[in-house]
Amino acid sequence: MSTEDRRKREREAREALFIERAHERIREDGLLGLQMSKLAADCEYATGTLYQHFASREDLLAAVAARTTRERAARFRAIPALDLGTRSRMLAIVLTDIDFAAHNPDYYRLTQYLVTEVVWANVSAPRRAALLEAGQPISEAVHAVVAEARKQGDLPPACEISEEEMGLGPWALNVGMQSLANAQGLLDAYDIHRPYDHLIRHFHALMTGWRWEPRLDPDEPSVVRAETERVRAVLREAGIGDAAADREESAAG
């Protein structure tokens, strides 16, 4: 191995260590408890060495989010090929993200924090690009399902909305519900419980509004639950969603 290759590997290993320890500190102390100097000392490096990898605390947080985003996105690659109708595959995308959120609440708090205007503005362009690239398989899965639905006639032909733009609806629902669910006590104040059940019902209302066949009445709880259970069974069979989360927890234990 050349000296250059060895230095590159050492740098990559050092950066991976910083990211791993930062994630641990976030889990234990929260986002605001993460300090660059303490993290460097925890990893037995000088603070200046940490800043050689990450120009700012925001860049470090973006790197932590990108690593977990890659783990999250990997679950979506197989969804377009599942043995389900196109509308059910869109539900599978939503359920997969709900399951990931349930097992990784710190990740969603981190991403919500990162995309606030004042924080996102301080993330460097390369770190922003890396984070966005990490989530690309999710966008590709949505695009593939919408394109097939239009091709098969499950959805009306496109007028103005592209496949990518149709993904904005479910994405906005998901991001909004994650924000509300993570704001401790907020939904309770309005006597609203089981936020992800509401997310699924609103998802079906959106799909039906788009005339995505076969249509499903979101105000029929037993029908909504039956469809959710059916799609979850297919996800478990494919090793996605709860099954994947259970494997990860077993490996961590």
pLDDT tens per residue across span 37-78: 999 999 999 999 999 999 999 999 999 999 999 999 999 999
pTM reported for the whole predicted model: 0.88
- Residue 57 forms part of a structural domain: no
84: containing domain: 77-252
* Main-chain phi, psi angles of 136, to 5 degrees: -60, -40
Q: Are 169 and 175 in contact (CB under 8 A)?
A: no
Q: What is the pLDDT of residue 217?
A: 93
Torsion of CA 193, 199, 201, 203, to 10 degrees: 170
- Residue 70 forms part of a structural domain: no
Question: In the structure, what pLDDT confidence band is assigned to residue 248 with cuts at 50, 70 and 90?
Answer: very low
**pLDDT tens digits, 94-140:** 999 999 988 998 998 899 899 999 999 999 999 999 999 999 999 99
Chain mean position to CA 214: 27
**Average pLDDT of the chain, as a whole number:** 91
- Residue 69 forms part of a structural domain: no
- Residue 42 forms part of a structural domain: no
- Residue 1 forms part of a structural domain: no
Joined together, the tokens standing for residue 61 give 């947080």
- Residue 34 forms part of a structural domain: no
Residue 249, pLDDT above cutoff 50: no
Q: What is the pLDDT of residue 242?
A: 63
**Closest of 4, 246, 203 to residue 92, by C-alpha:** 203
Can you tell me the mean pLDDT for 144-155? 95
- Residue 185 forms part of a structural domain: yes
- Residue 72 forms part of a structural domain: no
Cβ neighbours of 18 (radius 10 Å): 23
What's the number of domains the chain is made of?
Answer: 1
Query: Higher confidence at residue 161 or residue 144?
Result: 144
Q: What is the pLDDT of residue 241?
A: 66
Can you tell me the mean pLDDT for 174-188? 86
213 Cβ neighbours under 8 A, 6+ residues apart = 87, 153, 154, 155
Q: What is the pLDDT of residue 97?
A: 93
Question: In the structure, what pLDDT confidence band is assigned to residue 141 with cuts at 50, 70 and 90?
Answer: very high
